[in-house]
Amino acid sequence: MRKIMDPEDIKKDDVANQLKLVNASVKELTEKALPAAENALKEAKKAGDLSEKTKNDVDKLLTDLNTQRDLQNQLATQLGEAEQMFARLGNNGSQAPARNRAGDLVIVDEAMIEFSKNVSAGRRLAIDMPRNALTSFAVNPVDGSTKIITNPNQRLTVRDLLAPGDTESNAVAYLREMLFTNAAAPVAENTTKPYSEITFEEVLSGVKTIAHLMKVAKQTLDDLPQLRSIINGRLLNGLKRVEDTQLLFGSGVGNNLHGIYTQATAFANPSTKTTPSNSLDVMRLAMLQVTLAELSATGHVMHDIDWTDIELIKDANTKGYLFSNPFGTLEARLWGLPVAQTNQAGMLDNFLTGSFADAAQIFDREDANVVVSTENADDFEKNMVSIRAEERLALAVYRPQAFVKGSLTVGP
């Protein structure tokens, strides 16, 4: 049987050709195995038992069929990975670097592979990786005019709206703008020019740690793809949920970030000509309030229920959906801006609108960490393994006035 090579060492065409041959082999063996099994059943009914030769022949056919099916599955997986690799090819045939998540990096780590082969008590393995391995997808560095691009059908999170940054320190020092008095005005020649004033306060934002552990059966280490699924699924999703909570509602006290919603300015209708009659009016007027704070809004945060209610608004006459297409795949957008959806209870019936790309920034520590250990509590006695995932980050909110929060409920 031909040895299966790693996806990075095998050519796409070779995999496709080998898969074609294996598919033909599976078809041929299936065509032989089914009649053989039927004949064996007839023989057993007639004679009350199977002859040794018939039993061996059927067993060999089924074994060969299962082996070829396993090979078929492996090749199909490799072909999919090869196609993804070729799809990432950039200009001049150069390949853009593939971005792996934490689980992908853990299971290909040589120390992890060796660890999984010889699991014993009192052992712990820490695997360092780039910080973006803990995120669901990357967002390019942004400025005020940069569009936020996501993977197709990918939900935005609060992090994805914010400007990214890195730090190697345990705290980030920055200046937070408190008040801007714009005194610019037309002036005559040879007269005193007016002074504009900006009031700042120096802020030291500490790097905070978000972490949790999960126990899995030791047998999971015999199935590294399953381990990858657990890390990329439950562990990372758990981190991201708490990260959303901290980025929005962190109190800034103790081990908590100082969240954006916590610091945001309360909604106050800036228009003297329009009185909001529904939640859509409120959101648009909140964008205006951000603009009047000298920055443009770049995104919204809404609860899943509130966003669903908006998507389900129908035209009174045609009964067609006004803001969505049930068969479409467009990302959530409102008044031209992306909407990050969350199921945080504090966001229900509320909203947050602001200049996420300019007025706030996340600073991530360079490395993240996933630890696999057999020495936690009674893991060895119960044949379990503990896995810990953590992230470290700081949040800077440069201009709280550029974020507006409020209720979506409009009074009578």
Extract the tokens encoding 130.
């780039």
Q: State residue 90's pLDDT score.
A: 41
pLDDT, tens digit, 9 for 90 and up, residues 50-97: 677 777 777 777 677 667 766 766 666 665 555 444 444 444 444 444
Query: Of the ranges 334-338, 376-380, 384-388, which one carries the lowest mean pLDDT score?
Result: 376-380
| Res. 127: pLDDT tops 50 | yes
Q: Quote the CA–CA distance of 19 and 12 in Å, as a whole number.
A: 11
Q: What would the pLDDT profile of 251-266 be if each residue is shown by its tens digit?
A: 999 999 999 999 999 9
129-407: CATH architecture:
2-Layer Sandwich (3.30)
Q: Where are the beta strands (DSSP E) in 312-359?
A: 333-334, 337-342, 350-354
Tokens (6 digits) for 184: 């610019």
d(CA 180, CA 201): 12
Task: Please report the DSSP string for 259-314 in residue order.
Answer: -HHHHPEEP----SS----SHHHHHHHHHHHHHTTTS---EEEEEHHHHHHHHT-B
The three-class DSSP label of residue 405 is strand
Q: 48 in the Ramachandran plot: left (φ > 0), alpha (ψ -120 to 50) or beta?
A: left
Confidence (pTM): 0.63
Pairing verdict, β 265-266 and 171-181: unpaired
CB 179 within 8 A of CB 198: yes
Query: pLDDT per residue over 3-21, tens digit each?
Result: 444 444 445 567 677 777 8
In this predicted structure, what is the pLDDT of residue 187? 85
Question: CA dist 126 to 112, 207, 216, 374, Å?
Answer: 9, 21, 17, 12
The per-residue pLDDT for 128 is: 57
Residue 362 has pLDDT above 90, yes or no: yes
Calpha distance 47→35 (Å, rounded): 18
